[in-house]
Structure formats: C-alpha cells, structure tokens
Structure 1
Amino acid sequence: MNVFGIGLPEMVLIMVVALLVFGPKKLPEIGKSMGKAIRSFQDASKEFESEFKREADQLEKPAPQTMEATLEPSEKPSLSPAEEQLEEPAIATNTTEKDG
C-alpha cells in the first residue's frame, strides 16, 4: 500500500502520533473532515476535467462550411445616375490666370 509516496510503516507512525496529539475523541472527527475535504477536491477536479474535455471537443468539431456567392456574367451592369456620372470621363479644364 503506497499512498502519496507513504508506505504502511510511515502511515502507522503518523496515526500513532495523531492519536497522541489529538486524543481518541477528536481523531474520528478530524478523519471525517479530512475525508470530506478530499471528496470535495476530487469532485472539483472531475468537474474541471469534464469541462476541459467538453471545450476541447467543441474546438475539434469541424467548422460549418461557408457558402460561396458567385455573380452571373451580364452584358453591362445597370448603374444608378450617380454612378453613371462617375463613369463618364471628366473634362479637365486648365484655367490659369496670368497677372499682367
């Protein structure tokens, strides 16, 4: 029996010292509270592990495929009047004034 790297002889020695320090009346209460603490720690670690696995599974799921949009070719797209003005070539006028 090897718990936390402690063998049977070491466990017996620890129990004898605890019995001498705390007495026979307090020892069962201490053992009970330690058992509850260990159980709550185990429950918390299991909950953390399950949450971690659930998040990892969600990351591994393939992303939904995206839809591709394509335009059908047409002769000439219809433009709004404002866009038509932008399409017409601008006439550049060079007006410079010469001072006399």
Structure 2
Amino acid sequence: MEITMFVLTAAERDAVIALVEPQSGLGINPRPVDATDPGVGINLNESATAFEVGAAVPLATMFVTNKRIVDDPDYIANAPEIVAYLQDKPIVVLKTETVFKPID
C-alpha cells in the first residue's frame, strides 16, 4: 500500500506533538521510520523549505505522518497550528513496507 506522508526530524516531531489543540484534543504523533534500510523518498511538496521538489529525502532516523491531516476539515478548523506547521515539510509517497518493520 502506498501512502502520502510528511517526513519530519525528531525535533520537528516533538514540535508538532506540542501543538495539540487543548479544546478539541486534536493532535498527531508521527511514527518513526523503523524499517532496517528505508532508503529515500522523493519530495513532492513545492512549499518544502529544506528540500527542492524532486530531491531525495533520507528516511533513516526520521518520522512520518499522513499528509491527509492538512486536508482534514477537523484539523483545518480546530487545529490550524498543526496544519500550518506541516505545510513546509517534505511530502513523499511511500510503501508501508518501505518505512515500517513488518508486524510479526
């Protein structure tokens, strides 16, 4: 299965977790990329500040969260800080088996 995801560093993950919207309780908890050799993804986000479109985004030691968060009406209305924070992060399309260890 392929999923469109934002790729975050550990510091970016911590920052976005801290943006939980207290009234609605909306927040995110990006998952670590825990595959043995995840390789790279290709950035698709024209607004990404650290990567040009088409640039390789290293996945080892990174965290990912689903891109759909920035399109979700609940997040747009009730957690705009999270949506805004993610807008300039790299977006890649990945196969789940590329980034996550298989479940035994």
TM-score, normalization: structure 2? 0.19
Larger strand proportion, structure 1 or 2? 2
TM-score, normalization: structure 1? 0.20
Larger helix proportion, structure 1 or 2? 1
